[in-house]
Chains A and B, each alone.
Chain A
Amino acid sequence: MHPLLETLKAKFLDAVLSANEDRPRAELSVRVAADRILDVATFLHDDPTAAFDHITDICSADYPEDPDRFEVIYHLLSLPHRTRIRIKARVPEEDPSIASVTGIWKGANFMEREVYDLMGIRFTGHPDLRRILMPEDYDEGHPLRKDFPTEGRGWRSQFEFIPRLDEPASAMTEGEVPEDEKRAFLSVDGASRATAYRKEELLLNMGPQHPATHGVLRVVLELDGERIVKATPDLGYLHRGVEKLSEGLAYMQIIPHTDRLDYICSMTNNYAYVRAVEKLLGLTVPERAEYIRTIVAEMQRIIGHLFWLGTQALDIGAMTVFFWTFREREVLLDLFEALCGARLTLNYYRIGGVDSDFTPDLVSRTHAFLDTFPDHIREYDELLQANRIWIARTTKVAVISAADAINFGLTGPVLRGSGVAYDVRKLEPYGAYDKVEWEVPVGKNGDTYDRYWVRMEEMRQSCRIIRQCLAQMPEGPIIADAPQIIPPPKEKVMRDMESLIHHFIIFTQGFKPPKGETYCATEAPKGELGFFIISDGSPRPYRLKIRAPSFVHMGAFDHMARGYLISDIITIFGTYDIVMGECDR
C-alpha cells in the first residue's frame, strides 16, 4: 500500500474509514468520516510528507439507496510530491452538511458553492454560500440529485424567475436596487459602512451583455472612483447541465457534448474526455493514433492561444493583432476541416483512437503552416512586446503570487505565469509528449505580462512538438482493436452482415465499462481540464464531473482584481482566457 495511505490510516484511526490504492490507474482514494474532514484536510495540506497544496476539484455524488446518501469528493494534488489523492466523505440526506475547507484552500470557495448549488450539500463555515450556476431564486431543488428529472421540472415559461415575454414589460423606473440584493456584492456591510463615514459606493454591473466579457460572464464591481473595491463574478448564464445530461447518455454519445464546453478548443475537450474513458476501460491506443492526437491537440492549443492573444489585445485596444491572429487561426481551421470535416465543434477523437487519418497532403500543409508561423509570432511581438503602452498595460497588473495561485487551484498558463512549472503533460505524460523534446515556459512575477509571455512561448513549443511528432509518426492503425468497445469501420458495416450486427449492438446498447471511478487530467490551453467518471457498470456514466479550468480560475477573480482600475478588469478577463461554455458547463 502507498506510504501516504499508511500514514493516514495510522494517524487518523477513527476518521479514515477505508483507503484504497488503484494500481492500474495509479490513483489513491480515501474515505473519511464527514465530521473529521477538516482534520484530515489540514493534515494533508500542512504535513510536509503529504503537502497537498493544490486543490483540484470538489464534487459530489448521489447514492439514493444508501443511508448516507451524498458523497463529497475532494481531488487534491501535491505539487512537491507529484501525487494526487481523492478524499471522500458521506453525509446523510436529513442533514447534508460538512465542514468547509475554504480556510485551507481558498479555491474551494467556488467549488463548494457549486456542490451546494447542484447537490444541496451545505458547507458549514463557508463565507458566501449562495447558488452559483443556477439562478439565485431557483427553488426547484438541486439538479444533480438522482431524483431530479433530467428534463427538469415544469416548463421553462412557467418558472417564476424567468421574465415573461408575452406580457408587457413593467416600466423601468430609476428606483434603487434593494439593500439586501446589493449585500452580496459589497465588501463591507451597508450598515457598518454608514456609521464609519459617509461614503457612497458605486456598484457597476458589468455583463452579461458587455463587449469584453468573453461571452456571458457577469461581474458586479464595487467601485471607489475607478478603483475596484470588490469584484463579484456571477456565473451560470450559459449553464446547460452537461453533467446531468451525460448521466443519461452512453459513453460515446457524450463526446459531442464535450465539443461545446470550451468551444474554442473542442479537440482538447474531446481528448480529455476520451482519455478519461480509456483510463476507466484500461484501453491502450495505437501508437499512430497517439501521435495524431498529440499533433491535433497541439494545433488546438495554438488555436486557443491565438484566440486568447487576439481577444486580449482587442480588450486592451490593439485591434490589428486580433485580425492577424484570426488569419492564422483560419489556416489551422482549414486543416481541421480537411482532417475531419468540421471547423469548430470537431468531434474528432474516438474512444480508443481517432476518427480519420492524417493524409500526406495534410502533413505537407501542416509543415507549410509550421514554416510560416514563427514569423507570424514575431509579427505579433513587434506590435505588442515592442510597444510601451502594451508593456505598461500588462506589467504589474493582476499579480498573483505562486503560493496564492496554487492555493486557489489555478492551473495552466495562469499558474505557470506565477513561476510554478506545473504542466500535466510533464507531470503525467500522455499521448506522445514523453517522446518529444519540449520545455515548460514559466514566468517570474505572476503578472499579466508574464502570462502573456508564457502563452506566446507555449505556441512556439507547440510548433516544436508538432514538428517532431510529424517526423516520428509511425504507420499503423488509428483506432484500437477492441471489438467490445469500438464499432467496426463504416465501409465494412455496409457490406458485411456480422459487422452490421456488431455496429448495431454497440450503437444501441453501448459498452459496459467495469465498475469503478477515475479522474483523468489533461492539459488544455486554459489549464487542467479533468474528467471524473464514476461508473456503476452500466453503459452510462453514473456521475460525470468536469473540472473546468475557467470555473476554478473565476474563483480567484476577486483576489486578483481588488485594488486595480476598471481598465484592468478587462485585462484580467483576457489574461484568464476564460470561455463561459466551459465555466458554466
Chain B
Amino acid sequence: MFELGVKVAFSLAQIGVVFGIVLLTVMFLTLAERKVIAWMQDRMGPMEVGPYGILQPIADGLKLFFKEDIVPAGANRFLFSLAPILALVPALIGFAVIPFGPNLTVELFGIQFKPFVISDVNIGILYILAFTSIGAYGIILGGWASNSKYSLLGGLRAAAQVISYELNVGLAIVGVLLLAGSLSLVKITEAQAGGFWHWYIFAFPFPQIFAFVVYVISAVAETNRVPFDLPEAESELVAGFFTEYSGMRFAFFFIAEYANMILVSCIAAALFLGGWNAPYPGTLIGHLGFPHFAWIEQVVWFAAKVYCFLFLFFWLRATLPRLRYDQLMRFGWKVMLPIALGNILVTSIAAYLFPKS
C-alpha cells in the first residue's frame, strides 16, 4: 500500500513538473515567436508589458481568461465545447513518453523510478502517433460545430491535411524504428549514444537524412504552421476552424498548437538528433570527473535541440508564403510519400545487410 502511495505521489510530481515546464514553454514560446519574427522583420515586437515585453504572455493569458465566452447561434453546444479539449489533451498527453534526460534509475524508499521520463512504455512512439491523431478530431469538430462556413472550410482542410501528413510522419519514423529495433523512445535514444555520427540522421548503415527532412516538413504540416497553415489561413478563412472561438476556448486551441510544436520537436530530437546525447562521446561533466551531474549536461543538450527545432518553426513563418490547398495535397502525396517509402525500402535492405551486432 505504501509502495503504491509513493509510486502515485512520485508520478504525480513528475507529471506536474513536466506539465508545468511544457505550459511555461508554451507561454514563452508565444513571446519568443513574436520577438524572433519581429527581429527578422526589422521591428521590436512586444515592448510594453514588463521589461522588453517579457510579461506579454501573462497579459495575453489574463486577457483571454477574462474574455466573454461566446457560443455562436446555431452551434452544437456540446461539440463546440468539447473540441478545444479534444485538441489540447492529446497534445499534452504525448509528453508522457518523452525522455527529457538520461535513462537513470533512482531508488527511493526501496522503489525504483526513472526521473526523466514519466512512463517508459515500450510502444512509446506508437502511443504518441495514436494520440496526435485524436487531436485532429478537435480541429474537425471545432470547425463543424461552429455553424460557420469559414470554420467548416477550415475544418475540412484540416481533416484532409492532418490525415495525409500524418501518414508521412509515420512512414518517416519507420526507418529509425528499423535501425533501432524498438518503439520505445528511451531505447531509441540510448542507441544513438557516442557522438553525433551515431545519431540516426547521420548513422551507419543508412543515414536517415531523407526521413528527417520528410519528418520535419510533415511535422510542420501536422501542427498547421506556416507554410502549411491552411486550416487557419488568416487571409482566406479569417481564422479557419477557430474563427468563432473566443476567450479560454480559443486559448485552448492556441496552447494545443504550441504544445504540438514542442511535442514534434521533442520527437525529432529523440528520434533523429540523438535526444539527450551530446554530439561527442560521453559528457563534458562526466569527463571532468563528476559523472553524477552528467545528467545536467544531457538535459541541456536535449533542450537545446528542441529549441533549435522550435526556432526553425519561427524562421519558416517569417520566410515562406502559404501553399495552396491543391499544392499542399500534391506535395504530400506525390513528393513526400514516395520519398518516405523509398527511404523505408533502402533502410530495410541496409538493416538486413548490416544487422546490429
Contacts and interface: CB of A to CB of B under 8 A. Distances in A.
A212 B235 contact: yes
Contact of A565 (B229, B234, B318, B326): B326
B122 interface: no
Contact of B227 (A174, A205, A317, A322): A317
A196 interface: no
Contacts, number: 91
Contacts of B139: none
A327 B320 contact: no
A327 B40 CA distance: 13
Interface stretch (A47-55, A103-111, A383-391): A383-391
Interface in A363-397: 383-384, 387, 389-390, 392-393
A203 to B, nearest CB: 8
B322 interface: yes
A172 B327 CA distance: 38
B206 to A, nearest CB: 28
Contact of B41 (A202, A210, A211, A320): A320
A383 B238 CA distance: 24
Given A174-B74, A211-B235, A568 B41 contact: no
A567 B236 contact: yes
Given A171-B73, A202-B149, A566-B153, A320 B319 contact: yes
Interface in A511-549: none
A569 to B, nearest CB: 7
Interface in A561-578: 565-570
B323 A389 contact: yes
Given A389-B320, A393-B324, A323 B41 contact: yes
Interface in B36-55: 37, 40-43
B187 interface: no
Nearest to B322: A317
Given A319-B37, A324-B42, A393 B321 contact: yes
A322 B234 CA distance: 15
Which 5 A/B pairs are nearest by Cβ-Cβ distance?
Answer: A317-B322, A174-B74, A212-B235, A323-B41, A318-B321
Contacts of A316: 235, 321-322
Nearest to A571: B324
Contacts of A317: 226-227, 229, 233, 235, 320-322
Given A172-B73, A327-B42, A210 B238 contact: yes
A570 B42 CA distance: 26
Given A204-B149, A565-B326, A383 B319 contact: yes
Given A315-B235, A387-B321, A566-B153, A324 B41 contact: yes
Contacts of B11: none
Interface in B321-344: 321-327
A173 B75 CA distance: 11
B236 A318 contact: no
B352 to A, nearest CB: 36
Nearest to A212: B235
18 contacts: A211-B234, A211-B235, A212-B236, A313-B321, A315-B235, A316-B321, A318-B321, A319-B41, A320-B37, A320-B318, A320-B319, A324-B42, A387-B319, A387-B320, A389-B321, A567-B322, A567-B324, A568-B324
A171 B74 CA distance: 11
Nearest to B330: A392
A211 B240 CA distance: 12
Contact of B40 (A314, A320, A565, A568): A320
Nearest to B152: A202
A566 B231 CA distance: 12
A6 interface: no
B216 to A, nearest CB: 16
A320 B226 CA distance: 12
B323 A393 contact: yes
Contact of B43 (A202, A323, A389): A323
A212 B43 CA distance: 22
B7 interface: no
B226 to A, nearest CB: 6
B17 to A, nearest CB: 35
A211 to B, nearest CB: 5
Interface of A: 171-174, 202, 204-205, 210-212, 226, 313-320, 322-324, 327, 383-384, 387, 389-390, 392-393, 565-570
B297 to A, nearest CB: 36
A569 B149 CA distance: 16
B320 A567 contact: no
B321 to A, nearest CB: 4
B317 interface: yes
Interface of B: 37, 40-43, 73-74, 147, 149-150, 153, 226-227, 229-230, 233-238, 317-327
Contacts of B327: 389, 392-393
A319 B317 contact: yes
A116 B40 CA distance: 51
A512 B324 CA distance: 57
Contacts of B147: 174
Nearest to B38: A323
B325 A565 contact: yes
A437 B236 CA distance: 41
Contacts of A172: 73
Contacts of B230: 567
A566 to B, nearest CB: 6
Contacts of A570: 235-236
Nearest to B149: A204
A567 B235 CA distance: 8
Contacts of B326: 565
Given A317-B322, A318-B320, A567-B236, 6 more contacts: A210-B238, A314-B235, A316-B321, A317-B227, A393-B321, A570-B235
B241 to A, nearest CB: 15
A211 B237 CA distance: 9
B71 to A, nearest CB: 12
A212 B240 CA distance: 13
A314 B318 CA distance: 11
A566 B73 CA distance: 25
A210 B150 CA distance: 11
B321 A226 contact: no
Contacts of B40: 320
B208 to A, nearest CB: 24
Contacts of B319: 318, 320, 383, 387
Contacts of B149: 202, 204-205
A563 to B, nearest CB: 12
A565 B156 CA distance: 14
Nearest to B235: A212
A202 B152 CA distance: 11
Contacts of A323: 41-43
B322 A389 contact: yes
Contacts of B153: 204, 226, 566
Nearest to B320: A389
Contacts of A205: 149
A407 to B, nearest CB: 28
Scoring B40, B317, B321 by chain A CB atoms within 10 A of each residue's CB, the highest score goes to B321
B73 A174 contact: yes
B324 A392 contact: yes
A352 to B, nearest CB: 41
A568 B74 CA distance: 30
Contacts of B238: 210-211
Contacts of A387: 319-321
A569 B236 contact: yes
A567 B325 contact: yes
B174 to A, nearest CB: 28
A318 B233 CA distance: 12
A314 B226 CA distance: 12
A317 B234 CA distance: 8
Contacts of A210: 238
A306 to B, nearest CB: 14
A242 B321 CA distance: 38
B42 A565 contact: no
Contacts of A314: 235
Nearest to A574: B235
